[in-house]
Amino acid sequence: MDQKRLCSLSDAIWGYAETGFTEEKSARAMAGFLRDSGFEVTEGIDGMPTAYMGVYGHGRPVIDVLAEYDALSGMSQQADVPERRPVTSAEDNGHGCGHELLGAGAVGAAILLKEYLEKTGREGTVRLVGCPAEESGSSKAYLARDGFFKDTDCALTWHPADFNMVCSGSSQSCISLFFRYTGVSAHAAGSPQLGRSALDAAELTNVGVNYLREHIEDTDRVHYAYLNVGGKAPNVVQSEAILKYFVRSKNNPDCERLLKRVILCAQGAAMMTETKVEVIFDEGLSNTVPNFTLEKAALEAFRKCGTPSYTEEELAYAKTFRDTFDMQDAMRSIPRCDDPARLRQNMKDSPINDYLIEVKSYEDTEMGSTDVGDVSWVVPTVQINTACFAYGAGAHSWQWVAQGTSAIAHKGMLKAAEVLAELGIRLFEDPQIIEEAKAELQDRLGGETYKCLIPEDIRPHISTLE
**Residue ranges that bind Zn ion, judged by CB under 5 A:** 97
Instruction: Closer to Zn ion by CB, 204 or 372: give it.
Output: 372
Q: Cβ 42 to Zn ion, closest distance in Å?
A: 24
Q: Cβ 368 to Zn ion, closest distance in Å?
A: 9
Q: Cβ 55 to Zn ion, closest distance in Å?
A: 25
Q: Cβ 396 to Zn ion, closest distance in Å?
A: 6
Q: Cis peptide before 234, with omega less than 30 degrees from 0?
A: no
Q: Cβ 392 to Zn ion, closest distance in Å?
A: 17
* Bridge partners for 41 per DSSP: 54
Instruction: Closer to Zn ion by CB, 97 or 393: give it.
Output: 97
Instruction: Closer to Zn ion by CB, 57 or 98: give it.
Output: 98
- How far is residue 282's CA from residue 198's CA, in Å, rounded to a whole number? 21
Minimal CB distance residue for Zn ion: 97
- How far is residue 283's CA from residue 48's CA, in Å, rounded to a whole number? 15
Instruction: Closer to Zn ion by CB, 204 or 382: give it.
Output: 382
Q: Which helix (H) or strand (E) holds 119?
A: helix 99-120
Q: Cβ 188 to Zn ion, closest distance in Å?
A: 40
Reduce the DSSP state of residue 284 to 3 states and report it.
strand
Residue 72, phi then psi, degrees to nearest 5 = -120, 145
Instruction: Closer to Zn ion by CB, 157 or 249: give it.
Output: 157
Q: Cβ 284 to Zn ion, closest distance in Å?
A: 17
Q: How does DSSP classify residue 282?
A: E
Given a contact cutoff of 8 angstroms between Cβ atoms, the answer to whether 192 and 186 are in contact is yes
Cα three-residue angle 404-408-414, rounded to 5 degrees: 90
Provide the b/e sequence for 191-208 (b: ≥16 CB within 10 Å). eeeebbbbbbbbbbbbeb
Q: Cβ 246 to Zn ion, closest distance in Å?
A: 13
Q: How far is CA 314 from CA 308, 309, 393, in A?
A: 11, 10, 17
Instruction: Closer to Zn ion by CB, 97 or 434: give it.
Output: 97
- How far is residue 140's CA from residue 66's CA, in Å, rounded to a whole number? 9
Instruction: Closer to Zn ion by CB, 92 or 203: give it.
Output: 92
Residue 44 backbone class (left: φ over 0; alpha: ψ -120 to 50; beta: rest): left
Q: Cβ 445 to Zn ion, closest distance in Å?
A: 26
Q: How does DSSP classify residue 40?
A: E
Instruction: Closer to Zn ion by CB, 102 or 110: give it.
Output: 102
Given a contact cutoff of 8 angstroms between Cβ atoms, the answer to whether 390 and 310 are in contact is no
Instruction: Closer to Zn ion by CB, 63 or 97: give it.
Output: 97
Which residues make Cβ contacts (< 8 Å) with residue 353, sequence separation at least 6? 162, 163, 164, 307, 343, 346, 347, 387, 391
- How far is residue 198's CA from residue 442's CA, in Å, rounded to a whole number? 47
Instruction: Closer to Zn ion by CB, 97 or 277: give it.
Output: 97
Q: How does DSSP classify residue 117?
A: H
Q: Cβ 108 to Zn ion, closest distance in Å?
A: 17
In sequence order, which ranges of 121-214 are alpha helices (DSSP H)?
Answer: 139-145, 198-212
Helix axes 24-36, 99-120, angle to 10 degrees: 20
Among candidate residues 282, 433, 380, 408, the one with its CA nearest the CA of residue 66: 380
Helix axes 312-322, 407-429, angle to 10 degrees: 100
Instruction: Closer to Zn ion by CB, 11 or 135: give it.
Output: 135
